A and B are shown apart, each in its own frame.
Chain A
Amino acid sequence: GENVEQHPSTLSVQEGDSAVIKCTYSDSASNYFPWYKQELGKRPQLIIDIRSNVGEKKDQRIAVTLNKTAKHFSLHITETQPEDSAVYFCAASRKGNEKLTFGTGTRLTIIP
């Protein structure tokens, strides 16, 4: 089955700087890669996703890149703000088998 690894497990960034979280996956048939943000005591929220037919996707301060050959994808947050502090999870799945396999999570702390 699919295995998703995520790094780093914790990340502290000065407010205004950029944060990068990286994930690798094992199943070459995976073609959908979402990122979820989970604030303390809240449900995971889908913040951005990418499919294997594109290499990069951007939504305001958030971007995701995908390297299918290397089987890794990354989340980039620019101009970080205190409200970006949360746990971020990457995940992978493939069409026809919609179950998500999650990474282990990254606790992001933005330092004011």
Chain B
Amino acid sequence: SAVISQKPSRDICQRGTSLTIQCQVDSQVTMMFWYRQQPGQSLTLIATANQGSEATYESGFVIDKFPISRPNLTFSTLTVSNMSPEDSSIYLCSVEGGDSYNEQFFGPGTRLTVL
């Protein structure tokens, strides 16, 4: 499976500010996904990012709050804008990989705390 890295691994931010999270993959992938995992909760898909097109957002998530870039087949960024304490979560990127379709592998995550 692909090797996936994320930066930063963790951050503590003040409310009202923005943070950009980077996801880097060691091989070219068509689809990249961004998930949120609130403390003690399951994973919720924020958006799907395909290279060369606008990200597709899930219900409850909007581009103004979570802008995404996908400049090439190995890299994506997620920005959490105008943060509030409710945005404190782990943010994970994932990519398709493996031997066949649908298999997804996760990056190590970014632990965000908003004060």
Contact = CB atoms under 8 A, between A and B. Distances in A.
Contacts of A105: 41-42
Given A43-B106, A43-B107, A43-B109, A99 B101 contact: no
Interface residues of B, number: 22
Contacts of B96: 98
A87 to B, nearest CB: 9
Contact of A104 (B42, B101, B102): B42
B33 interface: yes
B67 interface: no
Given A43-B92, A98-B96, A99-B48, A34 B42 contact: no
B42 A46 contact: no
Interface of A: 1, 32, 34, 36, 42-46, 49, 89, 93, 95, 98-105
Interface of B: 31, 33, 41-45, 48, 58-59, 92, 96, 98, 101-109
